Structure 1
Amino acid sequence: MPMELNAVLAQRIDLSPGLAVIRVVPEGWDLEEFTPGQFCVLGLPGSAPRAEGSEADKEPVAPEKMIKRAYSIASSPITSEYLEIYVVMVPDGALTPRLFALNVGDKLWLGPKVTGHFTLETVPEDKHVLMLGTGTGLAPYVSMVRTYLVAGGERHFGIMHGARHSWELGYENELRTLDRVCSNFAYRPSITRPQLEPTPWTGDSGYIQDLWKQRPFDEFLPAPASPDNTHVFLCGNPAMIETMQQVLADEGYSEHTPKQPGQIHIEKYW
């Protein structure tokens, strides 16, 4: 028996071609509580159309097959009416071209269970949190900051977000505003192709694993970041994560696992 399309696309904000923030609302049922940093599963049948400009399916997909993929949640659990997802279209992907073909009001499938261990639950409250992400790997951090950031609080949060172009820096306005009004929050965006900007880019450029070595958060934190006072979250491109793991290991950080507590928390996106 085919799965029922049990949710509705309530909002879609296109940030640039192939990059959007969407809100999905369950239809006739309530969302379960979740923890910032967790992910949900979205789905559409193979019969759903693909967005204009996307490529054909790599392999034929049966019309009745439900194509499902996991997506980190950007909204806060404080808001329980919808889930907000930060999504990029993969032109030859199976699901995202179908998601980008949806209009507001169209139906899709939303998995009833939210799960994941990429959360702050294992981080002591007296430790600061620095979050490094590329592309849509920013999403779980947005959920965390929206939920846990207390303006002027003792715990400091920092986000370093890497993208190719400035127009791919999702949530930039929101995060820059928080950076201005919250003394315990810092936002450090960086782009890797500043030469392609329509107007001169005056911010940081380069890969975030290289920028980390410049100690970009030390002046913002009460004391320079170290394994004794800071936990580091890594999300997005596996190459960035692999490089940062080694960089952090050289500084004395260790990966957190269920059996061995550490200060590095990892979520790979592919």
Structure 2
Amino acid sequence: MSANEKSPYNASVIGREEINPQLVVLRVQPDGPLFEFAPGQFVVLGLLGSEPRVPEAAADEVAPEPNKLIRRAYSIASSSLERRYLEFYLTLVTSGQLSPRLFNLRHGSRLFLGPKATGVFTLNRVPAGKSVLLIATGTGLAPYISMLRTMLVHDAQRRFVVLHGARYSWDLGYRAELESLARIRPNFTYIPSITRPDEDPHYRGYTGRLQALLEQGVVEKESGVTLDPAQADVFLCGNPDMIRTVKAMLEAKGFKADHGKDTGTIHVEEYW
């Protein structure tokens, strides 16, 4: 970018927490006032093609234009009550264009932040009083963190359950925060599960795929929330295979998709 060209960057990194080499939490502060958003929505982040990639990432298959923004939408993890910054829970896609550059950012680094949040993956269409089951794999957890940080303050009567799957215990981002919430909030239950327990021998907890835990009645056992569309709405975010199999299982129990004008009890975020 030439010296007389205006930078497209309008935000700065003010916090970076590495969960492990493939997972990071970034806090991004806009230059101006932060827009309003609903928990569960997403916003676009961007970096110029000239920005460096982390060393552990593969090289770009096709070199991007150096002065053009690489953009991608990411779910917001921070509470909508937080007015200073936005938080994002990111995974490193080594062959991707944007995430290897985002992972190279440090405190004070500059980036592009979209002007508004969008998306309908929110609690707005869930009737008052119904329980909410939030099911995610990997960084699909991010929109639920925003929901919990916001709604557990305002909606103390509604029951929330998080069912989160990952390969290893060290991939369970926000685990300490969610365990703490579960201890102090009687209306919240956290159920983590890992799929490679043989390689993680110190982990103590549920193992296996999330759909298997649902079939085994783990949610009812741990939370008292029944998989009944009259009692609960279900949110799905993460691996497409998980979404497909869990959605089919729920539909067999009488749940139906929430889409457009058709109000339903299964809410899906097309995350990948």
Same fold (TM over 0.5): yes
Structure 2 unaligned segments of length 5 or more: list them: none
1:159 aligns with 2:150: no
* Match in the other structure for 1:265: 267
Give, as a single letter, the amino acid of the residue that structure 2 aligns with 1:153: A
What do the CA deviations read for 1:22-49 (whole angstroms, capped 9, x no partner)?
100012x111100000001100000000
* Match in the other structure for 2:111: 108
Give, as a single letter, the amino acid of the residue that structure 2 aligns with 1:146: R
| SS across alignment from 2:219 | coil
User: Quick one: distance in 2 between partners of 1:51 and 1:201?
Assistant: 30
Q: Paired residues, what number?
A: 268
Structure-to-structure mapping, 1:187-226, within 5 angstroms: 187-197=190-200, 199-221=201-223, 224-226=226-228
C-alpha displacement of 1:3? 5.4
* Match in the other structure for 1:128: 131
* Match in the other structure for 2:235: 233
Match 1:86 to one of 89, 102, 123 = 89
User: Quick one: distance in 1 between partners of 2:225 and 2:238?
Assistant: 27
Residues 161, 226 of structure 1: alpha-carbon distance in 2 compared, 3 angstrom cutoff: same
User: Quick one: distance in 2 between partners of 1:222 and 1:99?
Assistant: 40
What do the CA deviations read for 1:126-170 (whole angstroms, capped 9, x no partner)?
110000000000000000011111599331000000001100100
User: Quick one: distance in 2 between partners of 1:152 and 1:71?
Assistant: 25
Paired residues of 1:237 and 1:268 also in contact (CA < 8 A):
no
C-alpha displacement of 1:4? 1.5
Q: Percent identity?
A: 48
When the two chains are superposed, the root-mean-square deviation of aligned CA atoms in Å is 1.5
Give, as a single letter, the amino acid of the residue that structure 1 aligns with 2:162: I
1:14 aligns with 2:21: no
User: Quick one: distance in 2 between partners of 1:90 and 1:224?
Assistant: 36
What do the CA deviations read for 1:155-212 (whole angstroms, capped 9, x no partner)?
1000000001100100000000111111111000001111111x43221111111111
* Match in the other structure for 2:254: 252
| SS across alignment from 1:149 | helix
Paired residues of 1:241 and 1:268 also in contact (CA < 8 A):
no
C-alpha displacement of 1:224? 2.3
Paired residues of 2:219 and 2:225 also in contact (CA < 8 A):
no
| SS across alignment from 2:87 | strand
C-alpha displacement of 1:219? 3.6
* Match in the other structure for 2:181: 178
What do the CA deviations read for 1:101-121 (whole angstroms, capped 9, x no partner)?
111101011111111100000
Give, as a single letter, the amino acid of the residue that structure 1 aligns with 2:126: V
* Match in the other structure for 2:70: 67
* Match in the other structure for 2:55: 52
Residues 223, 166 of structure 1: alpha-carbon distance in 2 compared, 3 angstrom cutoff: closer
Paired residues of 1:151 and 1:183 also in contact (CA < 8 A):
no
| SS across alignment from 2:246 | helix
C-alpha displacement of 1:217? 2.2
Paired residues of 1:44 and 1:108 also in contact (CA < 8 A):
yes
Question: Normalising by the residue count of structure 2, what TM-score does the alignment of the two structures yield?
Answer: 0.95
Match 2:27 to one of 8, 23, 26 = 23
Runs ≥4 residues deviating over 2 A: 150-154, 219-225
Give, as a single letter, the amino acid of the residue that structure 2 aligns with 1:224: T
User: Quick one: distance in 1 between partners of 2:242 and 2:7?
Assistant: 37
What do the CA deviations read for 1:50-88 (whole angstroms, capped 9, x no partner)?
111110112121101100000000000100110000001
Residues 255, 73 of structure 1: alpha-carbon distance in 2 compared, 3 angstrom cutoff: same
Paired residues of 1:151 and 1:182 also in contact (CA < 8 A):
no
| SS across alignment from 2:267 | strand
* Match in the other structure for 2:102: 99
C-alpha displacement of 1:7? 0.5
